[in-house]
Amino acid sequence: MSVTRRKALTVLGASAASLLTSNVFAAVTLPQAPAVQPLQVVPCQYPVIELSGTPFERGKAYGMAVKEAVRRNIVFYKMIFKTFSNISWEKAMATSKKFLPYIEKFCPGAIEEMKGVASGADLPFEEILTLNCRSEIMFAASDGCTAVAFLKEQTTGGSVLLGQTWDWFMPARENTCILKIRQEKAPDILMVAEAGLIGGKGLNSCGIGLCLNAVSIGSGKEGVPLHLIMRNILNTTLPTEALDCIAHVPRAGSATLTIGSAEDLVMAVEYSPNEFDVLMAEEEPLAHTNHFLSPLIAPHDKGKAGPLSTYTRLNTVRRKIKKLGKADGLNAIYSLLTSHEFFPESLCYHEDVRDSGLRACTIYSMVMDLNSKTLLISNGYPCEGKVSKFSI
């Protein structure tokens, strides 16, 4: 009997033998999808932190503000590393040190900012560094996300719109935070991040927006970690500069980064340690999930058999985009991400009650208007309709 990736993700800590002898489902009956609720703007359930000053000063204020969340995040990733990669936290910290020379060379200010986070959270620098290298330490684990991007002519209001779900494990929700970063020599940033990480998804004051899809070729090399590449992109002013943050650095792992510009451009940049490719939106909006689409990299895809909903989610969101026609603002693309088609492994991905243990689900959904520089983020499942609004 084969074991689905979804099942493997939900029985963390189980041995291979117990997985192969267990039932894939605890029950035959599919769980019922909840009704999708109308949108309402509510106070944000995540910590919102405003940062300014030198990189160290910003980092220290960040670490102090979410000290307990950073500690929870370390406990969480200790478990994740051991479960997916059989790597102890000590080995993970030793591995992360190998990325330091690349971070120092290609990510100005990042070391000082991470040192500041460590100081503010009263933790060793090595632990904060390890959090920021988390994707490179667990190559075999794929979180599942759905991203969409619309050009100006594909919207009724003439704005560039980006959006995505972030699907991971439920403990990640309480470790999510919103960062408002004011910088002297780079654009200001509005970013959604995991506590302790200095890179994440979001937009900047120059109208550059960024979304993430996890993909994998199953291996990596020493280089610049994903979340540091993401931070570099949010420090740029032009889409060509954003692309340069991927094309001309040694890449430690793999990812798909959907990048948008308020000047009317969106692109999904797929990359691995050895290749990158750029998929541009032209006649239709972009959509991406968790498998490579580029013929350059797709033959090397090792993550495509991970969350198999990557195929059903991509097909679902593409069909819904076609039915939508022109998107009428952020609410319209947000509504795409509330779909329960193929529930619970839907765009709005719910924990499967048939499974025991830690279960995958949508941690949040976020959508961005790059022209008005506005971001909406769900407080919980997208279908619950509770969102918080931020601007930069």
342: pLDDT confidence band, cut at 50, 70 and 90? very high
Higher pLDDT, 331 or 137: 331
- pLDDT for position 18: 34
User: Which candidate, 293, 292, 303, 375, places its Cα nearest to that of 333?
Assistant: 375
- pLDDT for position 305: 73
Residue tagged 């601007």 (tokens): 391
Query: How far lies 19's CA from each of 8, 118, 251, 357, in Å?
Result: 8, 38, 34, 12
pLDDT in tens, 3-23: 233 444 433 333 333 333 344
User: Is a pLDDT exceeding 60 seen at residue 54?
Assistant: yes
User: Which candidate, 174, 177, 179, 207, places its Cα nearest to that of 191?
Assistant: 179
User: Is a pLDDT exceeding 60 seen at residue 174?
Assistant: yes
- pLDDT for position 288: 98
pLDDT in tens, 249-296: 999 999 999 999 999 999 999 999 999 999 998 889 999 999 999 999
CA atoms in the 13 A half-sphere facing the CB of 130? 25
pLDDT in tens, 139-165: 645 567 999 999 999 999 999 999 999
Higher pLDDT, 28 or 86: 86
- pLDDT for position 279: 97
Question: What is the pLDDT of the chain when averaged over all its residues?
Answer: 91
pLDDT in tens, 67-82: 999 999 999 999 999 9
* Helix/strand/coil (H/E/C) assignment for every residue in 34-84: CCCCCCEECCCCCCEEEECCCHHHHHHHHHHHCHHHHHHHHHHHHHHHHHH
User: Is a pLDDT exceeding 70 seen at residue 128?
Assistant: yes
pLDDT in tens, 33-53: 999 999 999 999 999 999 999
Residue tagged 């919103």 (tokens): 178
Mean pLDDT of 51-62: 98
User: Is a pLDDT exceeding 90 seen at residue 27?
Assistant: no
- pLDDT for position 139: 65
User: Is a pLDDT exceeding 80 seen at residue 357?
Assistant: no
- pLDDT for position 1: 25
42 burial type by CB count under 10 A (0-12 exposed, 13-18 middle, 19+ buried):
middle
With beta carbons less than 8 A apart as the criterion, state whether 26 and 354 touch: yes
Higher pLDDT, 259 or 83: 259
Please, where are the H alpha helices in the chain?
5-10, 16-21, 55-65, 67-85, 89-97, 100-106, 110-121, 125-132, 134-137, 226-234, 239-247, 309-324, 330-336
- pLDDT for position 25: 47
User: Is a pLDDT exceeding 70 seen at residue 240?
Assistant: yes
* Rounded-to-integer distance, Cα 324 and Cα 312, Å: 18
Token duo for residue 174: 């309480």
- pLDDT for position 241: 98
Mean pLDDT of 240-247: 98
Question: 10 Å Cβ neighbour count for 35?
Answer: 9
Alpha-carbon dihedral angle through residues 260, 243, 51, 63, given to the nearest 10 degrees: 120
pLDDT in tens, 188-222: 999 999 999 999 999 999 999 999 999 999 889 99
